[in-house]
Amino acid sequence: MEQNDDKARVLLGITGGIAAYKAAELASRLCQAGCDVRVVMTDHARRFVGPLTFTALTGHPVPGDWFDPDQEATISHIDLARWAQVVVVAPATANFIAKAALGLADDLLSTILLATTAPLLIAPAMNPQMYAHPTVGENLDRLAQRGARLVGPAAGHTACGEEGAGRMVEPALIAEHALDLMAVRDLEGVPILVTAGPTREHLDPVRYLSNPSSGRMGLEIARMARRRGAEVTLVLGPTHLEPPFGVNVVGVTSAQDMAEAVARLAPAQKVVVKAAAVGDFRPEKCHPTKVKKTGQGEACQLVATTDILAALGRDKGERILVGFAAETDEVLAHAGAKMQAKNLDLMVANDVSAADAGFAVETNRVHFLTPDGEVETLPLMSKQEVAQRLLDRVGRLLEGA
């Protein structure tokens, strides 16, 4: 079978449940993540959603009856089994889970499961009473003992009107698990602390000083580090974005909260990546009640917050320390001075005044600066790609250490 070695290869199996419609979003997410996705559907799955949907999303035809001689001549079930780097079954019905646990092979998808050596990811989806049945639990346990990874199900309101565990988890989480199973784990076991998001410095209970940071850059660093095997702790300021699964999240609000959390956690880390947009100033006084608008208003006196990065640099020891410089002018000059002053191993600088590379966007354009004067300028790319390039450098620093 033709394959693109530059892309991760995912075989997505879809079985016959109402959650089959969510598999379209899953296929789309995997394709957007750069995967080559091929879909195999059971006959019952085709009654819920048509194969043409997945052909359009993936760019590949969906195989039909496995007894079709024309199909087997072009893409056989053995070819698909060998091609896949991971097999994802989502949704996985109670019936299909039973077949997989017993090793039955009466259709294309169940046959592929017996013929492949790729990791298997199963996302169960069924009625809560079915999921609670002992037989289903036994079948899932049997699959897990053989090495399959199970994700979900989630609890909540199901299509049949009942409440309880049985809903398929969201496609974003399934996609993350699939990507995790295919990742190169070159940072296995390395403890890494990442800070992300803005801070809020309150003037009173309803007003605060902050910045437009969404925390996306730091979240992607944490996500990619965990995917590469690191033991990630994420100190996260207020943000509407969901943190990645599998990381230890410590929520904070103010710069002082973040300083205290970092000081407590840093001694156990090999790497600290300080990607948060921490406020440099805070109101001298936080009023216990809302400040009223009377006359000219009360003057707000500002004082400097704790310089977390400088404190880390003074007590760096053997830790690798990475900082970020969000600048609006003379980016390289300001970032270089900051790197030297704060004893960093790597500085990541960007111009946050750029519409496509500043706060609250999905792309970034950064410069990597090193203490020996090297400057690497990256083109505009997704923040996930920036995170990967940054972690490549961290990996080389760890090897050098």
CATH number at residue 129: 3.40.50.1950
Looking up tokens 């996306």, which residue turns up? 216
Q: How many domains does the structure of the chain reveal?
A: 2
**173 and 304 assigned to the same domain:** no
Residue 308: pLDDT band (50, 70, 90) is very high
pLDDT digits (tens, 9 = 90+) for 273-293: 999 999 888 888 888 888 877
The average pLDDT across 300-305 equals: 86
Q: Which residues are annotated as a binding site for CTP?
A: 280, 290, 324, 338, 342
Burial 388-397 (b: 16+ CB within 10 A, else e): bbbbebbbeb
Asked whether residue 304 is assigned to any structural domain, the reply reads yes
Evaluated on CA atoms 381, 382, 385, 386, the torsion sign reads positive
Quote the domain boundaries for residue 152.
9-182
The average pLDDT across 100-110 equals: 93
**230 and 176 assigned to the same domain:** no
300 is catalytic: no
Task: Give the pLDDT of residue 79.
Answer: 87
* pLDDT > 70 in the chain, percent: 94
Q: Can you give the pTM of this predicted structure?
A: 0.85
Asked whether residue 3 is assigned to any structural domain, the reply reads no
Max CA separation in the chain (angstroms)? 85
Residue 94: pLDDT band (50, 70, 90) is very high
Residue 207: pLDDT band (50, 70, 90) is confident
Asked whether residue 70 is assigned to any structural domain, the reply reads yes
Report how far residue 360's alpha carbon sits from residue 340's, in angstroms, rounded to the nearest whole number. 28
**384 and 346 assigned to the same domain:** yes
**267 and 358 assigned to the same domain:** yes
Asked whether residue 307 is assigned to any structural domain, the reply reads yes
Q: Is the pLDDT of residue 259 over 60?
A: yes
**166 and 57 assigned to the same domain:** yes
Task: Give the pLDDT of residue 158.
Answer: 73
Q: Is the pLDDT of residue 200 over 80?
A: yes
pLDDT digits (tens, 9 = 90+) for 160-193: 677 778 899 999 999 999 999 998 999 999 999 9
Set 31, 35, 160, 300: catalytic member: 160
Q: Which residues are annotated as a binding site?
A: 280, 290, 324, 338, 342
Q: Which of 159, 182, 205 is the last residue of a domain?
A: 182
Report how far residue 336's alpha carbon sits from residue 83's, in angstroms, rounded to the nearest whole number. 47
**Alpha-carbon distance values, 136 to 7, 41, 133, 140, 257 (Å):** 35, 21, 6, 6, 45
CATH number at residue 253: 3.40.50.10300
pLDDT digits (tens, 9 = 90+) for 113-169: 999 999 999 999 999 999 999 999 999 999 999 999 999 898 887 776 777 788 999
Task: Give the pLDDT of residue 66.
Answer: 60
Indicate the DSSP class of residue 1: -
Task: Give the pLDDT of residue 38.
Answer: 95
Q: Is the pLDDT of residue 3 over 60?
A: no
Q: Which of 182, 202, 234 is the last residue of a domain?
A: 182
Residue 387: pLDDT band (50, 70, 90) is very high
Element (H, E) at 142: helix 134-145
